[in-house]
Structure 1
Amino acid sequence: MDFKMAKPKHILVIRLSAMGDVAMTVPVLCVLAQTYPEVKITVLSRPFFKPFFEGIPNLDFLEADVYGEHKRFGLIKLAKEAKELGIDAVADLHNVIRSKIITKYLKFKGLKTATIDKGRAEKKALISAKGKNISQLKTTHQRYADVFEKLGFPIDLEKHIAPPKKRLSPKLNGLLGVEYKKIIGIAPFAAYQSKMYPLSLMAEVIRELDESDKYRIFLFGGGKKEIEQLKKLENPFANVTNVAGKLTFEEELALISNLDLMLSMDSGNGHLAAMYGVPVLTLWGVTHPFAGFVPFKQPETNQLVSDRNEYPLIPTSIYGNKFPSVYDEAMKTIAPEAVVSKIMAVLT
């Protein structure tokens, strides 16, 4: 007799880092919960990311302390904790050593497992093409969705319904002011300089938006150095507020959910905004939208790419950490006027 494993009722979803990658799981899990309301979901990730998943029905969160309690052999302890919750399937959306250890242990215990195919070969080929005849790869969101299909839960990401905006506290309402203006978020930083629009050019973008007096602009970032840079960027302008270091993470998410547009690099803040259905305008340096990291449901027209006639080898890497000499200046080819024009077109 052909034995078939029963369809899972409780899925452990593993994605430990980084912020943008974890944020990209959110719309996928929203569709999963919407499509299969009878299935329980437990997300295993770092405590900092727990607020991402608030409001998704039938979803719980299991905290992973991978640098403390769950370091090394602690991963087995973590796997045991997960099993005690009654999970009967594992969706590994990370596919790194830590997640593999947890997944293999639970598979050994008889649970059904599925692991993401990150498309490493296709991504390597995209970079090796040196800019010639490149084409769109599968999106990371679809790669996540494919894992659930392997477990018996196909989902259609086109059916995603953006969650409602989060309620603004009196503190956040105070930042917005009483006069109605469209709200723009700007996140000018990225993990690598090659993915970051020059701050001098970003200042020109902000100046033109500020002078129109149509928008309230909020600057996002983190870390002492970034906060100091954002203070300097904020100072000359009446309609600009730097919120870096001034809000809790939950407050930042609430503010982001209420934006009319986010201007971001190829980095995490764009994905945070996209979680809430906010239009995201992304500026691309040595990376490229074809690698599959465009924020969720954002159109091709919202992707402003560096001039590939002047920098023909783009994309030079998937994450922005590898590039030839002078390619770190590629983003200078995106004119501030083009950025402002696109923002105004989206907000019209």
Structure 2
Amino acid sequence: MIRIGFLMRDMLCSTIYDKARVKSILIIRMNRIGDMIYTLPVIRTLKKEFPFAKITVLAEPANAEVASTEAAVDEVLVYRKGRGLFHNRYSRIALLLGARRFDLAVSVKGGFSSFFALIAAISGARYRIGYRSSSGHILDKLYNLPADPIDFSRTHQLDACLHLLSPLGIGEHIRDISLRIPNTFLEKASAFFCKKGIEHRDNVIIMNISSNRAASAWSPERFVALGRALSEESGCFSIVCSSPDEAQQARDVSGRIGENSYYYQTESPLAFAAAASLCSVLVSGDGGASHLAAAVGTPVVALFGKTSPGIWRPHGEMNIVLQAEQGGVEAIPVKNVLAAILSAGLLIKKVKD
């Protein structure tokens, strides 16, 4: 009821933005791993603008771990879907926010979302930022510092996220998406590589065989063919990873590639990021793995099907995007991926005897 009172107060009274009043910030960023990675620049920019403000991130289980590594974040609240009588997501979010008071709420999403608008309202924040609907929506009024919509079909997610801050008049944005990996994950990955005799980063490929979307999935047979071809061409090591539910399939792919190919168990996003940081290049369908690798500075060959690379290509000049002319990622030939890796010098080509 208190939050509703704050909301009614702000809707009935004109809002004059006063930077000095911002002492507590709520960042709303649900969804997946890539979504949170491209929210990191927003968080860092806000921390620079409001150095003494407490920053809280509202996340979901899939992307909360990424937010938890960010030094500018003081608290991560993880929203989990309920069941039965406790399935109402708005009441669960209200309970999760509890008695916390926020001065600024930012709904970070590349476009208008009624769900995010309502979360911003539930937060009771004095100032609420989010994209207005391009066609006009009754819930636009829940944002008292709205951002004007842009052409989201031609705008990379990083730029779409940062544009949200335009109502605050911030002159310079931080575009850094780098991810800090805790030592425990790095030590585990390093120990695994050392045990397998992998000493140099310049000849190790990591392949993520999992995808949340069928159109973004490359078949196990194609990963096997690529691993074998790269082993023949460069004598490289292959690290095969997957989501936990596809672990056996990843083991099978690694075994079929043969010598110098190893399955590495990645039970979390940071476990994968640690392994990727020790490799020369990642090959993966578009999705969270490609953005994690980009965030730790590992070159990426990202395979795109129907997803727009203009919006979701991994950020960074060294990354390569291959897109199927028609259909999904499966239409991309192995030879094209092999050529992209070798021509870019991402692996050292073996000198033939």
Task: Return closer, same or farther for 1:3/1:36 CA change in 2, 3 Å cut-off.
Answer: closer
For residues 240 and 205 of structure 2, the distance between their equivalents in structure 1, rounded to whole angstroms, comes to: 9
The one-letter amino acid paired with 1:176 is F
Instruction: Tell me the equivalent position of 2:178.
Output: 162
Instruction: Tell me the equivalent position of 1:296.
Output: 315
Instruction: Tell me the equivalent position of 1:115.
Output: 130
Q: Give % identity.
A: 18
List per-residue Cα deviations over 1:77-119 (Å, max 9, x = no partner): 534653733311111114544423211234xx46211114698
Instruction: Tell me the equivalent position of 1:318.
Output: none
Deviation at 1:74, TM superposition (A): 5.4
For residues 221 and 24 of structure 1, the distance between their equivalents in structure 2, rounded to whole angstroms, comes to: 22
2:192 to 175, 189, 198: 175
Structure 1 residue matching 2:164: 3-state secondary structure = helix
8 Å Cα contact 2:279-2:298 kept in structure 1: yes
More displaced 10-residue stretch of structure 1: 80-89 or 263-272: 80-89
Structure 2 residue matching 1:84: 3-state secondary structure = coil
Instruction: Tell me the equivalent position of 2:342.
Output: 341
Instruction: Tell me the equivalent position of 2:154.
Output: 137
Task: Return closer, same or farther for 1:110/1:49 CA change in 2, 3 Å cut-off.
Answer: closer
Instruction: Tell me the equivalent position of 2:333.
Output: 332
1:195 to 186, 208, 216: 216
More displaced 10-residue stretch of structure 1: 281-290 or 205-214: 205-214
Deviation at 1:285, TM superposition (A): 2.0
Instruction: Tell me the equivalent position of 2:16.
Output: 4
Pair 1:283 & 2:303 matched: yes
More displaced 10-residue stretch of structure 1: 141-150 or 272-281: 272-281
List per-residue Cα deviations over 1:241-285 (Å, max 9, x = no partner): 2224x6455433332343332222111111112222332221122
1:253 to 273, 277, 302: 273
The one-letter amino acid paired with 1:13 is I
- Root-mean-square deviation (CA, aligned residues, Å) is 3.5
Deviation at 1:232, TM superposition (A): 1.7
Higher radius of gyration, 1 or 2:
2
Pair 1:38 & 2:52 matched: yes
For residues 239 and 133 of structure 2, the distance between their equivalents in structure 1, rounded to whole angstroms, comes to: 34
Deviation at 1:64, TM superposition (A): 1.3
For residues 295 and 169 of structure 1, the distance between their equivalents in structure 2, rounded to whole angstroms, comes to: 22
Normalising by structure 2, report the TM-score. 0.73
Any gaps of 5 or more consecutive residues in structure 1? 121-134, 312-322
8 Å Cα contact 1:264-1:281 kept in structure 2: yes
Instruction: Tell me the equivalent position of 2:149.
Output: none
Structure 1 residue matching 2:292: 3-state secondary structure = helix
List per-residue Cα deviations over 1:196-224 (Å, max 9, x = no partner): 23332322221122335654332221243
For residues 117 and 298 of structure 1, the distance between their equivalents in structure 2, rounded to whole angstroms, comes to: 31
For residues 176 and 69 of structure 1, the distance between their equivalents in structure 2, rounded to whole angstroms, comes to: 46
Deviation at 1:175, TM superposition (A): 1.5
Instruction: Tell me the equivalent position of 1:67.
Output: 82
For residues 222 and 37 of structure 2, the distance between their equivalents in structure 1, rounded to whole angstroms, comes to: 28
Task: Return closer, same or farther for 1:165/1:22 CA change in 2, 3 Å cut-off.
Answer: closer
Structure 1 residue matching 2:307: 3-state secondary structure = coil
Structure 2 residue matching 1:51: 3-state secondary structure = helix
Task: Return closer, same or farther for 1:143/1:336 CA change in 2, 3 Å cut-off.
Answer: closer
Structure 2 residue matching 1:210: 3-state secondary structure = helix
For residues 30 and 263 of structure 1, the distance between their equivalents in structure 2, rounded to whole angstroms, comes to: 29
8 Å Cα contact 1:194-1:330 kept in structure 2: no
Instruction: Tell me the equivalent position of 1:221.
Output: 242
Any gaps of 5 or more consecutive residues in structure 2? 1-13, 136-151, 349-353
Structure 1 residue matching 2:322: 3-state secondary structure = strand
For residues 30 and 260 of structure 1, the distance between their equivalents in structure 2, rounded to whole angstroms, comes to: 28
Task: Return closer, same or farther for 1:304/1:328 CA change in 2, 3 Å cut-off.
Answer: closer
Structure 2 residue matching 1:12: 3-state secondary structure = strand
Pair 1:149 & 2:170 matched: no
Normalising by structure 1, report the TM-score. 0.74
Structure 2 residue matching 1:335: 3-state secondary structure = helix
Pair 1:233 & 2:253 matched: yes
Instruction: Tell me the equivalent position of 1:314.
Output: none
For residues 332 and 94 of structure 2, the distance between their equivalents in structure 1, rounded to whole angstroms, comes to: 44
For residues 58 and 40 of structure 1, the distance between their equivalents in structure 2, rounded to whole angstroms, comes to: 8
* Count of residue pairs the alignment pairs up: 309
1:271 to 291, 296, 300: 291
Q: Relative contact order: is structure 1 or structure 2 higher (C-alpha 8 Å, sep ≥ 6)? A: 1
